[in-house]
């Protein structure tokens, strides 16, 4: 079956993903993914921080099936029960006062940019610039590419959407230098995911928050990857003890059903008035049923506590490996179950391949850092399987 799919993909699918890993999955259960040839993999990447509940989570599947049988879509012309209830959940469990649903992380960030701009526009203040950080990743639409601080993602799409600029992360002086009287917002990932799991310093994040408040600038936190319990808190900004004016989330919010959210303080959110923003699919009955089922599982199964506890155990065991292999493992970073294992550059690809051959799914960031973002209900036994495979890879393949 794999060869057939590869041939179809090659012939008909736009080649944006190049040569993919040679595997196709037919079904999953918990941490396990079953390939068409019968091989069983452990999903330590969780669909890139999406499958927070693992695969085929019984209650989640049941909630979706029930919703599919009842109603998929009605349009935003009418009131939508699940949409209203999921907005309530997000607001009551975060520092935000209002939420808006869309379909992806990039779209949530687009919504955040629009909200920041319209907030000042409606006040009659000429502020529209958005500052973000080097090495950040905010999505693939034109505005989010302009905000993504990685030149290789930007180069083919110049001229970029105007008004965006990037500065060095964790450098508060750089913030002060970059801000102008046109700066509307500063956007950060508190833990940069795609570039290899790089957390911001607490002091930097807090200074940033205070600076934005003092200077009438909005702070936007991109929680697309860090949100919904990934770091052991529902949102990473809780770890930092700061409250953004706007934050975005997506990925794990739907556990695989596409949904994103823009969340904001009341004062900012009220800038969006009828007609200012919209969406066809965003927050429809199906995707918001998924969001509600994710919230229920997080609460009923104590997944925040598990992510925190298992994250600590995971990093401890990885640091144990680092002591054993100090020349190979250079750093172990992250919070909760978003973890980066930085390797000596010459061996990183071989380690990634070795893990894959041992049926451990991860991603390799910037050719240097193995990123893991497993389901939040992972067990210590599953962590041990990964550690064993990692050790075998370092011993046998390197």
Ligand X SMILES: Cc1ncc(COP(=O)(O)O)c(C=O)c1O
Residues that bind ligand X (CB under 6 A): 48, 104-106, 109, 137-139, 189, 193-194, 222, 224-225, 250
Determine which one of 113, 117, 120, 222 is catalytic. 222
- Judge contact between 398 and 227, C-beta under 8 A: no
Residue 190 beta carbon to ligand X: minimum distance, rounded to whole angstroms: 10
Nearer residue to ligand X within complex by CB, 82 or 104: 104
The 3-state DSSP composition of the chain as helix, strand, coil percent (nearest 5) reads: 45, 20, 35
**E strands present in 241-315:** 246-249, 260-264
Closest contact distance (angstroms) between CB of 262 and ligand X is 12
**Is residue 222 flagged as an active site residue?**
yes
Shortest CB 103 distance to ligand X, Å: 8
Q: What strands, in cross-sheet order, belong to the sheet with 369-372?
A: 329-335, 338-343, 369-372, 363-365
The Cα–Cα gap between 104 and 222 comes to 12
Closest distance of CB 339 from ligand X, Å: 15
Cβ–Cβ < 8 Å for 127, 183:
yes
What lies within 8 Å, CB to CB, of 54 at 6+ separation is 28, 29, 30, 31, 43, 46, 375, 377
- Closer to ligand X by Cβ: residue 284 or 393: 284
Choose the catalytic residue: 117, 127, 233, 251.
251
- Give the C-alpha separation, 297 to 301, whole Å: 6
- For residues 252 and 294, give the distance between their C-alpha atoms in angstroms, rounded to a whole number: 8
| Least CB distance to ligand X at residue 100 (A) | 15
Residue 164, classed as helix, strand or coil, is strand
Residue 48 or 155: the one with the smaller Cβ distance to ligand X is 48
Complex with ligand X: residue 227 or 354, whichever CB lies closer: 227
Q: Which single residue brings its beta carbon nearest to ligand X?
A: 105
For residues 43 and 377, what is the distance between their CA atoms, to the nearest angstrom?
Answer: 12
Task: Report the nearest approach of ligand X to the CB of residue 251 (Å).
Answer: 6
Bond from prior residue into 159 cis (ω within 30 degrees of 0)? yes
Concatenating the DSSP letter of every residue in 176-198 gives HHH--TTEEEEEE-SEETTTT-E
Q: Which of 44, 113, 137, 386 is catalytic?
A: 137
Nearer to ligand X, 238 or 309 (CB): 238
Cβ closest to ligand X, residue 329 vs residue 361: 361
| Residues known to be catalytic | 137, 222, 251
């Amino acid at each position: 079956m794999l060869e057939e799919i590869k041939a179809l993909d090659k012939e008909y699918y736009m080649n944006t993903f190049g040569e993919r890993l040679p595997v196709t999955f037919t079904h999953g259960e918990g941490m396990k993914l079953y390939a068409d040839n019968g091989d069983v993999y452990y999903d330590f990447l969780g669909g890139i921080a999406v499958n927070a509940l693992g695969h085929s989570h019984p209650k989640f599947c049941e909630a979706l099936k029930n919703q599919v049988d009842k109603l998929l879509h009605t349009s935003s012309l009418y009131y939508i029960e699940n949409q209203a209830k999921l907005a309530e959940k997000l607001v009551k469990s975060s520092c935000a006062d209002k939420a808006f649903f869309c379909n992806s992380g990039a779209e949530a960030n687009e919504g955040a940019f629009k909200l920041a701009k319209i907030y000042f526009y409606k006040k009659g203040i000429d502020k529209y610039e958005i500052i973000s950080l080097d090495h950040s990743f905010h999505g693939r639409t034109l505005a989010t590419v302009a905000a993504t601080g990685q030149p290789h993602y930007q180069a083919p799409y110049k001229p970029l959407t105007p008004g965006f600029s990037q500065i060095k992360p964790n450098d508060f002086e750089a913030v002060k230098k970059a801000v102008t009287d046109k700066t509307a917002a500063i956007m950060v990932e508190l833990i940069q995911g795609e570039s290899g799991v790089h957390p911001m310093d607490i002091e930097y994040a807090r200074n940033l928050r205070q600076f934005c408040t003092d200077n009438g600038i909005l702070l936007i936190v991109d929680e697309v990857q860090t949100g919904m319990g990934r770091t052991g808190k529902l949102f990473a900004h809780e770890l930092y003890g700061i409250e953004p004016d706007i934050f975005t989330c997506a990925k794990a919010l739907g556990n695989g059903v596409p949904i994103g959210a823009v969340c904001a303080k009341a004062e900012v959110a009220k800038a969006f008035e009828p007609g200012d923003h919209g969406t066809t699919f965003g927050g429809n009955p199906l995707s918001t049923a998924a969001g509600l089922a994710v919230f229920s599982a997080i609460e009923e199964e104590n997944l925040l506590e598990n992510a925190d506890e298992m994250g600590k155990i995971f990093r401890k065991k990885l640091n144990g490996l680092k002591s054993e292999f100090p020349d190979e493992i250079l750093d172990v970073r992250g919070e909760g179950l978003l973890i980066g294992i930085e390797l000596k550059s010459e061996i990183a690809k071989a380690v990634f391949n070795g893990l894959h051959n041992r049926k451990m799914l991860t991603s390799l960031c910037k050719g240097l850092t193995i990123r893991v973002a497993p389901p939040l209900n992972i067990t210590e036994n599953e962590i041990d399987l990964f550690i064993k495979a990692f050790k075998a890879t370092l011993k046998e393949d390197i």
